[in-house]
Amino acid sequence: MEQIANLHIEKLPEGVYLATCDDIPGLIAQGRTITETVEIARDVAKKLLGAQAERHQQSKLLTVKDSFDYPLILGT
């Protein structure tokens, strides 16, 4: 089952990107590029959700439907 979590990504003054997620408490990821940051955030999210499942806590994430919007990020 695929679920959707909304990431907030910001570029820090140091030139790296920081991702946080209100949908998954404790998720923080940092990378040199947006792509790297999203990949790290995905790994962290899986670990956090796995830990929640072990404690029998259910996530409040939305299940992916047949149609949804997805931002396509293109380099310049």
Instruction: Name the more confident of 1 and 8.
Output: 8
Domain boundaries, the chain: 3-61
25-67 pLDDT per residue, tens: 999 999 999 999 999 999 999 999 999 888 888 777 878 888 8
**Statement: 3-61 belongs to CATH 3.30.450.20:** no
Residue closest to 49 by CA, chosen among 10, 75, 16, 23: 23
Would you place residue 72 in the very low, low, confident or very high pLDDT band (cuts 50, 70, 90)? confident
Q: Which helix (H) or strand (E) holds 63?
A: strand 62-63
pTM for the model stands at 0.84
- The phi, psi pair for 10, rounded to 5°, reads -135, 145
Q: Which helix (H) or strand (E) holds 29?
A: strand 28-31
